[in-house]
Amino acid sequence: METVISTTNIKHNYLEIAHFVGKDVRCCAVVKGNAYGIGLRNVAAALLPECKDFLVADISEALEVFNVASEANLSDNVNIYVLHGPDSVDNALLGIKRRFIFVINAEAQFLLLVAALKAASDKIPTPRMILYVEVGMVRTGFSAVELSSFTAKYSNQNHDLNLLPLILGIECIGLMGHMSVSEVHSHPLNEVQLERFKSAVSLVQNVWNSVVMQHTFANSFGVLLGTEYHFSMVRVGVLLYSDIASHPSLNLSESVIKISANILQKVILDEDAVVGYGGNLILKRGSKIITAECGYWYGWYEKERRGFCMCMGHKIHMISNAMQLAIFDASSMSDADFLSAQSVNLIDDVMKISNLHERLAHEMLCKIGRLESKKIYI
């Protein structure tokens, strides 16, 4: 199997979305999960220097983006957001020294930043954090009650005076929220979650009124809901890597990922024959059979593509899938196309990732990085 990934088209998609939201809104590239399985290093390198904001899952991914930026002499010009926050004092200190922005999901993570400041033996950059607020997913982040308690506790009037120099040494740059149904444009929960996020913004700004903050709420599909959802920064993930959504004002590239498998054998049956495992599939004389080098050992399962692929412009059906071999009924192909075919396309401009249910398409992207296939970046 072979996977061809166009980082050129990923960059095109990023620039399209950045232009769509306008120059007053920052466009953050979501490269967590190895850039959705595409390859974090390659994607980050392709997006620099135009992209100055990257969101990763943890400290190891943050360091990877930092190293890519450093190799391009751009590490001072990028913001790297660590979604899962600090998980230890040592990692907090490591991130602070590299000016990572920690997403703080709970008071305990904030206290790790405080402890890191205490532990610093020399002068370090001002720690930066962004508070993650829970607006209706019950996943991570401060609830409305927790946020109110946290901001009151650490306001200038109420917090422990012994912590004053340390707390004032941490810069809160804003709030982050996440939408749960933004792919459904008309879903009422979009507006409900937006209002919850606005309430959180008002609460924090009323308590910490001396701090100028920038906030981020919209994910990929949230970008398409309108400027009210954009705030200071949008976070774009799946739209960079797939054709899963469209908008009349966006000219996103469909050709980001192509996966193909070599054809090992082609047969035209000279009599009726049992095909594949199980002994219960019989194809008629004259049927055209293709055996390709893919299967579940490579991480490719029949259900992933609903059993279809493309070959020489023809949609052909997978009729048997094994560890490293898949059999396709290519009877719809002309004799000339059948004889000249060298490979089958598992994902291409016709068999798109968006042919799948949207949630499965997200999963498919993340699995691409773990497929046992040769990867070629163009």
Tokens of 211: 């701090």
Q: Whole-angstrom Cα distance, residue 33 to residue 42? A: 13
> What count of other Cβ atoms lies within 10 Å of the Cβ of residue 162?
7
Residue 1 annotated as part of some ligand binding site: no
Sheet holding 128-132, edge to edge: 171-176, 128-132, 101-104, 79-82, 53-56, 26-30, 233-236
- Say what the pLDDT of residue 126 is: 87
- The pTM (predicted TM-score) of the whole model is 0.87
- Say what the pLDDT of residue 211 is: 65
Mean pLDDT of the chain: 87
- Say what the pLDDT of residue 359 is: 52
Residue ranges and CATH numbers for the domains of the chain are 7-240 (3.20.20.10), 257-348 (2.40.37.10)
- Say what the pLDDT of residue 354 is: 58
Tokens of 264: 């090992």
Cβ neighbours for 68, distance < 8 A, ≥ 6 positions apart: 41, 44, 45, 48
Determine which helix (DSSP H) or strand (DSSP E) holds 223, and give its type and residue range.
helix 220-223
- Can you spell out the DSSP letters for 277-310? TTS--EE-TT-EEEEES-SGGGT--GGGGTTEEE
- Say what the pLDDT of residue 111 is: 92
- Say what the pLDDT of residue 5 is: 92
- Say what the pLDDT of residue 35 is: 93
CA 25 to each of CA 20, 76, 77, 200, 374: distance values in angstroms, whole numbers, following the listed order: 10, 20, 17, 20, 37
- Say what the pLDDT of residue 251 is: 82
Tokens of 217: 């709420």
Q: Whole-angstrom Cα distance, residue 322 to residue 320? A: 7
Residue 139 annotated as part of some ligand binding site: yes
pLDDT tens-digit profile, the chain (378 residues)? 899 999 999 999 999 999 999 999 999 999 999 998 889 999 999 999 999 999 999 999 999 999 999 999 999 999 999 999 999 999 999 999 999 999 999 999 999 998 998 888 888 898 999 999 999 887 888 999 999 888 888 775 555 545 555 566 788 889 999 988 888 888 998 999 999 999 999 888 877 765 668 899 999 989 999 999 999 999 999 889 876 666 777 888 867 888 899 999 999 999 999 988 888 889 999 999 999 999 888 887 655 445 788 999 999 988 888 899 999 999 999 999 999 999 999 887 655 665 654 456 677 777 777 788 888 999
- Say what the pLDDT of residue 171 is: 85
Residue 302, class by beta-carbon neighbours within 10 Å (0-12 exposed, 13-18 middle, 19+ buried)? middle
